[in-house]
């Protein structure tokens, strides 16, 4: 009897606490909302609207299947796979920065690292989210761990098996890297245990950075390039050289993306969130990496044009017809060249507008690359009597894609507001001066 | 024992964590996932049963291929055929058998006519009630001396049940029994005009060494598919040359030894007479009874230059064909343009028979099975004698006469006839429309009583083998007709058959007869050259509309079957749009491109919208439109898909067959 | 149990094919393919055997009268890659969950219930032979009666494919076992499409057996393989190309006496 009473008491206490919590939270939200400017309010409404679409269409896709997308037997991969490739590629900035900061000790990157780890984490999280929507049987997703296609020996047979495992491990690494960020909140730092934990985690983070770099080299290569390079039946995709291109492109585009995100955050918050020096260092790193990425891209396009496409008894220019034709390749190379020039010439890089243009070009180049892979690979006909196919994502695909990105932005905003995402801000009080 | 708050939380938390860990490591979640997968998919598991094979005969067409039906328990799951037999229709039998929209019970109309709303009469007495009702109505009409208001329309493949229905209506005193237009119907009318005999034209494909086909799409449904498949193999072996004349490069044209493109669609008769002209010049003579008159027409009106002008076929090509015919040992010319659904032009069949009459006559007459004349009572005999009759179905539909009782046997004339709308009005006015059918189609939608018939697999064949027992309360139309007839005084005497199979035995197999010397119906040819050249040069409607049929759908019957829907070419019907085929030159002229939406307009009206597919397989200034689409009622699978071009197709009635010659229509794009 | 000595292959004589569609209907019936009231969205269709209508429209010098048309029945071509002793179809190695494999009889299999629906194999297939169940397969009411218990009804969200009707092989093997014949090489069978072909245009058999009709036809002058133009290259060139990459090397042969169909196999 006593124990029953006790449960009852606990229950009532919990209920009261909950009710108080809800009232408090509601009041808090209301106050917060009223504290925002008009522009922020509009932005938030749009973002929450997109999240709403994400939820509605997510239920539809998971419950009733992929028939609602414009993917088809001719177009097995669509917008979400572009999203996956793009997010993993751009998220590659996280391991690159980790490598430069913790292994090569480029300390100027320190003010950027929290933001980078969060973005990296979200990129990988939403890659997995999009993948869950994209596979026809999400409830069988664990088959990837239960029945992996290892083949003989240690090397996995299927690039996708490799991607699934590597992605999972690296996602774990990212979670560990992310843990200190919320724990660095001033309230939590008052607990000596947490303070000590974060301190030691930072000390040992080079291990994670090394593990992350090791893992990333594999899955960046596999997902970005290897997955496509092994498709020997498909003329657009078959390019064995693409594996390495994808790794280098991810380091180049990813670092540019990390700089771009932090820069935009600073603009929105109207504060100097990261010292200009740090931006410049990162842009310089990105610029050098972009040169390598460009060389790799050029090399594999050359290999494709001279070796692989002729091996299919087709001509290189001929496969670049249709909606997603040669113009996309030209645009991609233009973006590469833009990034190389703007980020490597110090006189240009140090001017804010050229810096922004440069990192945008870097992000654009890698995004175009991923779009070309997915869109053009399926679009090219397999039979000479068929024509180039087109792909028009449906509202469901847009809803989930944009809703996912909106969720990422909201999480980023949340961290920027309540957690020490940019430690630089605290060091200089609240730096009132505008970002450069 | 006093438990403090901390301990309580510890214990509770521990229990939850332990339980969760145990649950995860037991593997239960994975089983649960698997179970959820299955549950969310609602996966159907087909029932099992003892496997056996039943040998039977496919009765979908008179060719009667032997089939072996794979049975699992009492369910038929697969049709196996052997080489030289079988066709997609046979493969579709399982779907026909188990179609969920099959008429399961006798039904009575519940809503307005044409709305296809019915109430099923489920009880055992349902058939009796329906039969009594029909017999009573006919009895009343006979008593009121109005037997002429009884009519019947048979489907092209009604077979012996069609003969029984014919017998029933005639014994009642009405001559109004018509058959849906088909290749046999068209040639039967021509045979009557040319040879004054009953039966349809048969071609000696086995003996021929040169076959000149005038747009007869031999391998796409023309005649009996299984027969034509056998012929194809035989011709390959014997080296028989097939020359296909067609305005569209169909599969038959490409399988032929040679394709003679016909730039002006619908001018096959002119071409035939042009070739006849050259044969005369080369010394061939016609064995026709009125050879002199025929020769005169051919020699005067159809000189090579005039023929080349109308048909667009160069004179040199005409010469080449004529030479080949002269050289050939046993050439035949084949009439009946189209595939399964051949339109009626007695003139064209006569012109091609005229050509055959110069080539040694490779044709014969296929006499159909017959039950002979019924026993007319006095009233019926008098009524039949004085009745005004129509040459064919379309003439019957077009007439102003009202009908009170109309039987529809395995037919869909509201959909298939160019006068579908007029027929629908007639059926609306009739007080009793009886439809024997397996699926509710555009015509059955107007029925007052729908009687469920069986599919080929439920039929006892001649040797009394049935694959599956008739489903629900279905009964063969033949049996139903006998049951009705037996209830009508004065008619019952004409039906000495206990069941349908007795009638099949009595009707026999039909046979072959020599045609002899034809008499060419000269009257038809007067002014023909002028009429056709005017039609071909019509500038108000600058394009020719010709139909084509796609595999498995034919003239529309196949559209209710899901596996047929799955196999439709994407340039025929895709994403709820029908595609018409057009030469790129034509499209350029009218400013259309691949995928353009167009409406097709003829003198009779407009259909649309359809999409344009550009292909050089179609003659310039010609639009090829797929047949078989645009049903209003034909189960959830067949209805509201595309448009029915018959609505705008030419409605000139052939005076001999009494059916519209719709195959070639002048249209414009709008 | 003896080791499998058979290697199943197919030869399709396009000169005999009238495009009637019996093969495709028979295939759908045999393999319990899903049914829908509207299946006009052809890129999302679930069919194993696609009756492709081919014309030589693309040749700009051709006019009405010069073009021709043919139907090419296309199913899974059962590729084996460069080395038939170590078959490597483009689709098998890519599967992350081993839902597809190539058997010792050369048939590329697929486990309906293992597939997670990632569609990587579809992307890898140069013959568009693999299909994904975009919608939940629907068998309205009594249509279920006609389903065969030999083939699983597919789930929504999985890839399925033509397996040369390998369940018929199992059926035949069971019959042989019942007769006391244990040698698996004694088991012969015919897939549904081949047995349904009214003109006998589709010939199925053992490519390892030099005496079989399919072996004979595969070596025929008229024989070619779909979009597999490496077959026409000289030996030296072939060796050079095969050093660069794998070729599908399908086990389905097509025969035609018409040069234009062979010309259509090459991209221009």
Contact yes or no for B666/B602 (Cβ under 8 A): yes
Whether B84 maps to a domain, the answer reads no
Whether chain B has a CB inside 8 Å of the CB on A4: the answer is no
Structural tokens at position B111: 């809503």
CA gap A65, A135 in Å, rounded? 10
Task: Name the more confident of B10 and C164.
Answer: C164
C210 pLDDT more than 60: yes
Sign of the alpha-carbon torsion through B556, B55, B164, B118: negative
Whether B291 maps to a domain, the answer reads yes
Segment A98-127 shows an average pLDDT of 92
Q: Give the residue from chain B lying closest to C30, CA to CA.
A: B78
Taking alpha carbons only, the member of B150, B650, B198 closest to residue B394 is: B650
Whether chain A has a CB inside 8 Å of the CB on C211: the answer is no
Q: What count of residues does chain B have?
A: 670
Minimum mean pLDDT among A172-186, A338-352, B425-439: which range? A172-186
Whether B429 maps to a domain, the answer reads yes
Minimum mean pLDDT among B1-15, C99-113, C243-257: which range? B1-15
Q: Do B401 and B503 belong to one domain?
A: yes
Q: Do B444 and B467 belong to one domain?
A: yes
Segment B67-84 shows an average pLDDT of 87
C146 half-sphere exposure, CB direction, 13 A CA radius? 31
**Residue B271: CATH number of its domain:** 3.40.228.10
B625 pLDDT more than 90: yes
Whether B556 maps to a domain, the answer reads yes
Q: What pLDDT is stored for residue A433 in this prediction?
A: 44
Substitution target in A1, A138, A139 with the highest count of B β-carbons within 10 Å is A139
Residue B15 CB-density burial (10 A; 0-12 exposed, 13-18 middle, 19+ buried): exposed
- Residues of chain B that touch chain A, judged by Cβ-Cβ distance less than 8 Å: 2-3, 5, 8, 30, 33, 36-37, 40
Minimum mean pLDDT among B3-7, B24-28, B191-195, C109-113: which range? B3-7
Q: Do B348 and B428 belong to one domain?
A: no
Counting the structural domains of chain B, the total is 4
Q: What pLDDT is stored for residue A188 in this prediction?
A: 87
Whether chain B has a CB inside 8 Å of the CB on C139: the answer is yes
Number of helices (H) and strands (E), helices first, in chain B?
A: 24, 24
Neighbours of chain B (3+ CB pairs under 8 A): A, C
Q: Find the DSSP H helices in A232-325.
A: 242-269, 276-303, 309-311, 316-319
Taking alpha carbons only, the member of A283, A280, A274, A296 closest to residue A427 is: A274
Segment C200-216 shows an average pLDDT of 95
Q: How confident is the model at residue A171 (pLDDT cuts 50, 70, 90)?
A: very high
Whether B526 maps to a domain, the answer reads no
Q: How confident is the model at residue A322 (pLDDT cuts 50, 70, 90)?
A: confident
Segment A28-50 shows an average pLDDT of 91
Segment A115-134 shows an average pLDDT of 94
Q: What pLDDT is stored for residue C138 in this prediction?
A: 85
Substitution target in A320, A373, A380, A383 with the highest count of C β-carbons within 10 Å is A383
Residue in A75, A234, A318 closest to C267 by CB = A318
Contact yes or no for A112/A259 (Cβ under 8 A): yes
Vertex B29 angle, CA B26 and B31, to 5°:
90
**Residue B614: CATH number of its domain:** 2.40.40.20
Domain ranges of chain A: 40-427
**Cα separation values, B110 from A9, B115, B127, B448, B634, Å:** 66, 9, 17, 8, 18
Q: Which residues of B touch C175 (CB under 8 A)?
A: none
Angle at which helices A79-98 and A242-269 cross, to 10°: 80
Substitution target in B34, B242, B249, B256 with the highest count of C β-carbons within 10 Å is B249
Per residue in B451-505, pLDDT tens?
999 888 887 655 566 667 777 778 889 999 999 999 998 888 899 999 888 898 8
Q: What pLDDT is stored for residue B300 in this prediction?
A: 92
Whether B145 maps to a domain, the answer reads yes
Substitution target in B4, B5, B594 with the highest count of A β-carbons within 10 Å is B5
Whether chain B has a CB inside 8 Å of the CB on A313: the answer is no
A434 pLDDT more than 60: no
Per residue in B114-144, pLDDT tens?
999 999 888 778 899 999 999 999 999 999 9
In angstroms, how far is CA A105 from the centroid of its own chain? Answer: 24
In angstroms, how far is CA B272 from the centroid of its own chain? Answer: 26
Segment C151-164 shows an average pLDDT of 94
Query: Highest mean pLDDT range out of A42-46, A149-153, B219-223?
Result: A42-46
Q: Do B597 and B548 belong to one domain?
A: yes
Q: What pLDDT is stored for residue A266 in this prediction?
A: 93
Residue-number span of the structural domain to which B316 is assigned: 205-361
Q: Do B210 and B353 belong to one domain?
A: yes
- Determine how many CB atoms are found less than 10 A away from the CB of residue A43: 17
Minimum mean pLDDT among A263-277, B182-196, C204-218: which range? B182-196
Whether B48 maps to a domain, the answer reads no
Per residue in A205-257, pLDDT tens?
889 899 999 999 888 988 888 899 999 999 999 988 899 999 999 999 999 99
Percent of chain A with pLDDT over 70: 97
Taking alpha carbons only, the member of B121, B144, B145 closest to residue B133 is: B121
A432 pLDDT more than 50: no
Residue in C39, C70, C147 closest to B254 by CB = C70
Q: Which residues of A touch B30 (CB under 8 A)?
A: 142, 146
Minimum mean pLDDT among A3-7, A37-41, B219-223, C41-45: which range? A3-7
Q: What pLDDT is stored for residue A435 in this prediction?
A: 41
Percent of chain B with pLDDT over 70: 98
Enumerate domains of chain C plus CATH numbers.
8-263 (3.30.70.20)
Q: Do B352 and B390 belong to one domain?
A: no
**Adjacent-strand bridge partners of B245:** B214, B260
Q: How confident is the model at residue C75 (pLDDT cuts 50, 70, 90)?
A: very high
Interface of C with A in 111-150 (CB under 8 A): 114-120, 122-128, 130-136
Q: What pLDDT is stored for residue A291 in this prediction?
A: 96
Q: How confident is the model at residue A436 (pLDDT cuts 50, 70, 90)?
A: very low
C25 pLDDT more than 90: yes
Whether B71 maps to a domain, the answer reads no
Determine the distance in angstroms separating the CA of A245 from the nearest CA of chain B, rounded to an integer: 38
Percent of chain B with pLDDT over 90: 63
Segment C248-263 shows an average pLDDT of 95
Determine the distance in angstroms separating the CA of B21 from the nearest CA of chain A, rounded to an integer: 18
Mean pLDDT, chain B, whole residue set: 90
Q: Do B559 and B652 belong to one domain?
A: yes
Contact yes or no for B46/C30 (Cβ under 8 A): no
Q: What pLDDT is stored for residue B88 in this prediction?
A: 87
Contact yes or no for A283/A343 (Cβ under 8 A): yes
Minimum mean pLDDT among A4-13, A362-371, B254-263, B492-501: which range? A4-13
B3 pLDDT more than 80: no
A321 pLDDT more than 90: no
Is domain A40-427 annotated with CATH 1.20.1630.10? yes
Residue in B2, B3, B33 closest to A139 by CB = B33
B282 pLDDT more than 80: yes
Per residue in C159-193, pLDDT tens?
999 999 999 999 999 999 999 999 999 999 999 99
Q: What pLDDT is stored for residue B294 in this prediction?
A: 92
Q: What pLDDT is stored for residue B490 in this prediction?
A: 86
ipTM: 0.94
Vertex C9 angle, CA C6 and C10, to 5°:
150
């Amino acid at each position: 009897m006593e124990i029953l009473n006790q449960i009852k008491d606990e229950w009532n206490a919990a209920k009261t606490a909950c009710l108080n919590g809800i009232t408090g939270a509601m009041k808090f939200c209301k106050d917060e909302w009223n504290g925002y400017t008009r522009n922020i309010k509009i932005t938030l409404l749009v973002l929450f609207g997109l999240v709403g679409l994400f939820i509605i269409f997510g239920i539809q896709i998971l419950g009733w299947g992929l028939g609602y997308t414009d993917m088809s037997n001719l177009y097995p991969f669509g917008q979400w796979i572009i999203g996956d490739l793009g997010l993993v590629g751009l998220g590659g900035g996280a391991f690159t920065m980790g490598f430069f900061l913790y292994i090569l000790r480029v300390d100027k990157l320190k003010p950027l690292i929290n933001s980078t780890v969060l973005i990296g984490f979200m990129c990988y999280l939403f890659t997995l989210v999009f993948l869950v929507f994209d596979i026809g049987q999400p409830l069988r997703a664990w088959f990837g761990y239960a029945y992996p296609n290892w083949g003989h020996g240690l090397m996995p047979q299927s690039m996708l098996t490799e991607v699934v495992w590597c992605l999972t491990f690296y996602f774990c690494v990212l979670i560990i890297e992310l843990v200190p960020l919320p724990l660095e909140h001033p309230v939590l730092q008052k607990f000596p245990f947490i303070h000590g934990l974060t301190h030691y985690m930072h000390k040992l983070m080079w291990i994670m950075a090394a593990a992350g770099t090791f893992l990333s080299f594999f899955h960046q290569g596999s997902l970005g390039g290897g997955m496509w390079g092994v498709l020997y039946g498909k003329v657009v995709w078959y390019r064995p050289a693409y594996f390495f291109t994808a790794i280098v492109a991810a380091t180049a585009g990813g670092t540019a993306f990390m700089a771009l995100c932090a820069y935009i955050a600073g603009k929105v918050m109207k504060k100097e969130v990261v010292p200009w020096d740090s931006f410049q260092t990162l842009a310089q790193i990105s610029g050098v990496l972009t040169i390598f990425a460009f060389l790799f891209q050029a090399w594999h396009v050359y290999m494709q044009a001279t070796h692989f496409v002729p091996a299919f008894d087709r001509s290189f220019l001929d496969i670049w017809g249709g909606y997603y034709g040669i113009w996309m390749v030209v645009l991609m190379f233009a973006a590469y060249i833009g990034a190389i020039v703007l980020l490597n010439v110090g006189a240009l890089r140090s001017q804010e507008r050229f810096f922004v243009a440069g990192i945008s070009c870097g992000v654009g180049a890698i995004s175009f690359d991923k779009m070309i892979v997915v869109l053009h690979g399926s679009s090219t006909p397999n039979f000479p009597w068929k024509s180039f196919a087109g792909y028009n994502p449906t509202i469901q695909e847009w809803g989930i894609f944009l809703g996912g990105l909106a969720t990422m932005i909201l999480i980023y905003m949340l961290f920027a507001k309540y957690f020490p995402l940019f430690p630089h801000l605290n060091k200089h009080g609240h730096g009132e001066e505008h970002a450069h | 024992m006093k438990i403090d708050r901390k301990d309580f939380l510890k214990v509770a938390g521990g229990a939850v964590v332990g339980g969760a860990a145990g649950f995860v490591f037991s593997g239960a979640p994975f089983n649960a996932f698997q179970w959820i997968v299955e549950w969310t998919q609602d996966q159907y598991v087909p029932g099992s049963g003892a496997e056996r094979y039943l040998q039977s005969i496919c009765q979908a067409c008179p060719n009667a291929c032997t089939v072996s039906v794979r049975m699992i328990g009492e369910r038929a799951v697969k049709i196996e055929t052997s080489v030289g037999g079988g066709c997609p229709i046979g493969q579709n039998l399982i779907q026909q058998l188990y179609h969920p929209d099959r008429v399961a019970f006798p039904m009575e109309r519940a809503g307005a006519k044409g709305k296809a709303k019915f109430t099923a009469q489920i009880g055992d007495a349902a058939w009796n009630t329906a039969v009594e009702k029909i017999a009573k109505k006919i009895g009343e009409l006979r008593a009121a001396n109005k037997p002429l208001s009884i009519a019947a329309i048979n489907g092209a493949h009604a077979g012996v049940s069609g003969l029984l229905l014919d017998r029933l209506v005639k014994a009642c005193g009405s001559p109004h029994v018509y058959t849906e237009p088909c290749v046999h119907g068209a040639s039967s009318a021509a045979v009557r005009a040319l040879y004054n005999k009953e039966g349809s034209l048969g071609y000696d494909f086995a003996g021929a060494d040169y076959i000149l086909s005038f747009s007869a799409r031999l391998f796409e449904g023309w005649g009996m598919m299984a027969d034509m498949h056998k012929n194809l193999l035989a011709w390959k072996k014997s080296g028989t040359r097939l020359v296909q004349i067609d305005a569209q490069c169909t599969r038959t044209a490409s399988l032929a030894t040679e394709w003679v493109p016909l730039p002006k669609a619908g001018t096959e008769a002119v071409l035939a007479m042009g070739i006849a002209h050259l044969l005369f010049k080369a010394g061939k003579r016609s064995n026709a009874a009125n050879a002199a008159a025929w020769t005169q027409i051919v020699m005067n009106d159809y000189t090579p230059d005039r023929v080349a002008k109308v048909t667009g076929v160069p004179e040199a090509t005409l010469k080449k064909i004529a030479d080949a015919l002269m050289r050939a040992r046993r050439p035949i010319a084949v009439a009946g343009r189209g595939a399964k659904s051949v339109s009626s032009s007695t003139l064209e069949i006569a012109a091609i028979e005229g050509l055959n009459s110069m080539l040694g006559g490779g044709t014969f007459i296929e006499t159909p099975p017959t039950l002979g004349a019924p026993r007319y009572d006095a009233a019926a005999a008098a009524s039949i004698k004085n009745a005004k009759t129509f040459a064919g179905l379309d003439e019957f539909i077009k007439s102003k006469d009202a009908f009170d009782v109309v039987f529809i046997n395995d037919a869909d004339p509201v959909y298939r006839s160019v006068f579908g709308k007029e027929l629908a009005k007639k059926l609306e006015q009739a007080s009793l429309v009886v439809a024997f059918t397996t699926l509710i189609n555009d015509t059955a939608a107007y029925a007052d009583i729908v009687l469920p018939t069986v599919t080929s697999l439920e039929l006892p064949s001649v040797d009394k083998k049935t694959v599956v027992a008739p489903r629900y309360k279905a009964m063969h139309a033949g049996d139903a007709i006998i049951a009705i007839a037996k209830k009508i005084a004065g008619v019952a005497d004409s039906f000495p058959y206990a069941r349908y199979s007795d009638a099949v035995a009595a009707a026999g197999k039909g046979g072959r007869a020599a045609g002899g010397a034809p008499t060419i119906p000269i009257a038809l040819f007067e002014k023909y050259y002028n009429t056709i050249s005017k039609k071909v040069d019509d500038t108000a409607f600058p394009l020719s509309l010709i139909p084509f049929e796609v595999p498995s759908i034919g003239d529309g019957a196949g559209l209710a079957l899901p596996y047929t829907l799955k196999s439709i070419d994407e340039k025929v019907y895709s994403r709820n749009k029908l595609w018409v085929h057009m030469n790129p030159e034509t499209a350029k002229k009218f400013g259309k491109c691949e995928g353009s939406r167009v409406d097709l307009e003829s003198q009779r009206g407009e259909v649309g919208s359809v999409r344009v597919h550009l292909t050089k397989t179609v003659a310039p200034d010609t639009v090829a439109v797929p047949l078989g689409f645009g049903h209003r009622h034909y189960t959830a699978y067949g209805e509201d898909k595309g448009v029915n071009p018959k609505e705008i197709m030419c409605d000139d009635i052939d005076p001999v067959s009494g059916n519209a010659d719709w195959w070639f229509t002048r249209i414009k794009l709008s | 149990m003896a080791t499998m000595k058979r290697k199943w292959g197919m030869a399709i004589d396009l000169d005999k094919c009238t495009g009637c569609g019996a093969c495709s209907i028979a295939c759908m019936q045999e393999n319990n393919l899903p049914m829908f009231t509207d299946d006009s969205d052809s890129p999302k269709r679930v069919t194993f055997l696609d009756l492709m209508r081919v014309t030589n429209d693309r040749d700009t010098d051709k006019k009405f009268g010069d073009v021709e048309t043919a139907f090419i029945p296309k199913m899974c071509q059962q590729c084996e890659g460069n080395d038939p002793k170590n078959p490597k179809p483009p689709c098998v190695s890519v599967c992350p969950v081993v839902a597809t494999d190539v058997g010792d009889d050369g048939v590329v299999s697929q486990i309906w219930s293992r597939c997670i629906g990632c569609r990587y194999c579809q992307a890898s297939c140069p013959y568009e032979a693999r299909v994904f169940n975009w919608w939940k397969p629907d068998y309205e009411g009594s249509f279920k009666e006609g389903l065969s218990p030999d083939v699983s009804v597919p789930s929504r969200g999985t890839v399925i494919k033509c397996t040369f009707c390998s369940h018929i092989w199992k059926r035949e093997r069971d019959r042989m076992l019942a007769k006391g014949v244990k040698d698996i090489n004694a088991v012969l069978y015919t897939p549904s499409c081949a047995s349904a072909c009214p003109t006998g245009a589709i010939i199925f058999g053992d490519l390892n057996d030099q005496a079989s009709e399919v072996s004979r036809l595969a070596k025929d002058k008229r024989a070619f393989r779909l979009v597999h133009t490496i077959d026409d290259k000289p030996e030296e060139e072939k060796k050079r190309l095969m050093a660069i990459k794998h070729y599908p090397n399908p086990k389905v042969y097509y025969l035609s006496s018409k040069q234009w169909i062979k010309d259509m196999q090459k991209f221009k």
